[in-house]
């Protein structure tokens, strides 16, 4: 248990190591379950005392369930703004959870593959995050966590509506399957709209890097299911694993091939410019960094740049975010032009 938030600072979580199937396009696979503890109001109608009781009940259950050999519980009511922003950047808590007030927390385990938000929109939001396309594995892991917590907590359940959630859009399984994909070639060839249309036809949501209401930065998109009722968890996971994601990966591969065949010089120019700026710039905004890293990642994955390690590029997506830079520097930095530089050209 001798694990502190600062220990996470200097490296990326397991999910961003760039491993796992289809990792040239699929960054990560996330499965989350929404659960509420029976006999308590949802958080919309909780008073301060009920909120505290729920937080301590959930914390107790999480810490007693032996979910992971090492588990870190962060009390978010006490945590400072920088630490909370840091957790958002690592996808361990949501933005609303960071900005909320009152008793709430997050438990983090297994090299950050597990996170459990306490008192977010629902009493518990369980999340498993893994690198590449590993949805079945993520579902099995989260299902086991849910079983363990169930030994300590009565979850609200209705025979017709399933697991009850504060928002009826999550009711039923309470599952949200979310795959983060990197689609720079589709963006460069202007065909990204086709993916959005196809996703909409399949009733899927396409969101930006940090979920609901965020812009797609650095050509990263999160594809997730919308319907949580009327299909089993396995059906939803399998549909994503076998049909939805492979199709999107195939589109991106076709676009990459097209760039390589028809626009080789333009492609190399885009990639090399990105690397040039990242190596030489002294002041750079975090959005520009993401944009350039995205092009560099495309170049490395397509073999157009040989001397840059893809794992390092993946890590830099995270380590160049503002809260990470400030944690690494050990001080608050005022400007929005914080440095994000690949050092010494070897990255």
Partner 1 sequence: MNKCDKCSKQATVHLTEIQNGKTVIRHLCEQCAAQGDGLISKPHGHTPINQLLADFVNLHSGLPTKEGNATCEHCGMTWGDFRKDGLLGCEHDYELFERDLTPLVQRAHENATHHVGKVPRRASGGAGAAAAAAASSGAARKVAELTRLRKDLARAVEAEDYERAAKLRDQIKDAEGPTRADAK
Cβ neighbour number for residue 60 with a 10 Å cutoff = 12
**Shortest approach of partner 1 to residue 234 CB, angstroms?**
8
39 binds partner 1 (CB under 8 A): yes
Q: Among 3, 6, 7, 60, which residue interacts with partner 1 (rule: CB under 8 A)?
A: 60
Contact 347, 308 (CB under 8 A): yes
Q: Residue 44 or 335: which CB sits closer to partner 1?
A: 44
Helix then strand then coil, in percent of the chain rounded to 5, is 45, 15, 35
Q: Helices (H) and strands (E) in the chain — how many of each? A: 12, 10
- Report the site for partner 1 in 227-266 (rule: CB under 8 A): 227-235
Give the per-residue contact string, 178-217, with partner 1 (x = CB under 8 A; - = no): -------------------------x--------------
Contact 224, 176 (CB under 8 A): yes
Q: Residue 229 or 272: which CB sits closer to partner 1?
A: 229
**Shortest approach of partner 1 to residue 49 CB, angstroms?**
4
- Report the site for partner 1 in 8-37 (rule: CB under 8 A): 36
**Shortest approach of partner 1 to residue 119 CB, angstroms?**
14
144 binds partner 1 (CB under 8 A): no
Q: Is 197 buried (19+), middle (13-18) or exposed (0-12) by CB count in 10 A?
A: exposed
166 binds partner 1 (CB under 8 A): yes
121 binds partner 1 (CB under 8 A): yes
Each as own residue / partner, the long-range contacts of residues 323-329 (CB below 8 Å, 24 or more positions apart, any chain) are 323/82, 323/83, 323/85, 323/86, 323/88, 323/89, 324/9, 324/86, 324/89, 326/82, 327/6, 327/9, 327/82, 327/86, 328/9, 328/10
**Shortest approach of partner 1 to residue 177 CB, angstroms?**
13
99 binds partner 1 (CB under 8 A): no
Number of alpha carbons in the 13 Å side-chain half-sphere of residue 69: 2
Residues that bind partner 1 (CB under 8 A): 36, 38-42, 44-45, 47-50, 53, 57, 60-61, 64, 121, 143, 146-147, 150-164, 166-169, 171-173, 175, 203, 226-235
């Amino acid at each position: 248990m001798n694990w502190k938030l600062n220990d996470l600072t200097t490296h990326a979580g397991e999910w961003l190591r760039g491993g796992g199937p289809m990792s040239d396009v699929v960054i990560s696979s996330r499965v989350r379950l929404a659960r509420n503890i029976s006999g308590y109001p949802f958080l919309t109608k909780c008073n301060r005392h009920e909120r505290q009781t729920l937080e301590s009940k959930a914390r107790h259950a999480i810490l007693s369930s032996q979910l992971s050999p090492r588990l870190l519980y962060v009390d978010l009511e006490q945590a400072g703004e920088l630490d909370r922003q840091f957790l958002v950047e690592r996808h361990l808590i949501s933005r609303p959870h960071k900005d909320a007030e009152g008793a709430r927390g997050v438990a983090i385990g297994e090299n950050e593959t597990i996170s459990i938000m306490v008192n977010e929109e629902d009493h518990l939001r369980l999340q498993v995050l893994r690198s590449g396309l590993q949805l079945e594995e993520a579902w099995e892991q989260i299902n086991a966590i849910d079983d363990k917590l169930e030994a300590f907590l009565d979850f609200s359940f209705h025979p017709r509506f399933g697991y009850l959630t504060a928002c009826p859009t999550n009711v039923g399984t309470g599952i949200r399957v979310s795959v983060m994909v990197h689609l720079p070639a589709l963006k460069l060839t202007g065909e990204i709209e086709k993916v959005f249309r196809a996703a909409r036809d399949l009733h899927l949501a396409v969101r930006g890097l940090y979920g609901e209401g965020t812009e797609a930065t650095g050509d990263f998109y999160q594809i997730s299911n919308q319907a949580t009722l009327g299909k089993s968890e396995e059906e939803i996971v399998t549909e994503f694993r076998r049909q939805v994601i492979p199709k999107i990966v195939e589109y991106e591969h076709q676009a990459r091939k097209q760039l390589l065949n028809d626009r080789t010089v333009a492609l190399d120019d885009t990639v090399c410019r990105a690397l040039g700026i990242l190596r030489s710039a002294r002041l750079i905004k975090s959005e520009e960094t993401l944009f350039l890293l995205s092009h560099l990642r495309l170049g490395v994955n397509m073999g157009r740049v040989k001397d840059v390690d893809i794992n390092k590029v993946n890590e830099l997506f995270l380590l160049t975010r503002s809260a990470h830079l400030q944690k690494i520097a050990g001080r608050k930095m005022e400007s929005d032009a914080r440095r994000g530089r690949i050092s010494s050209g070897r990255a």
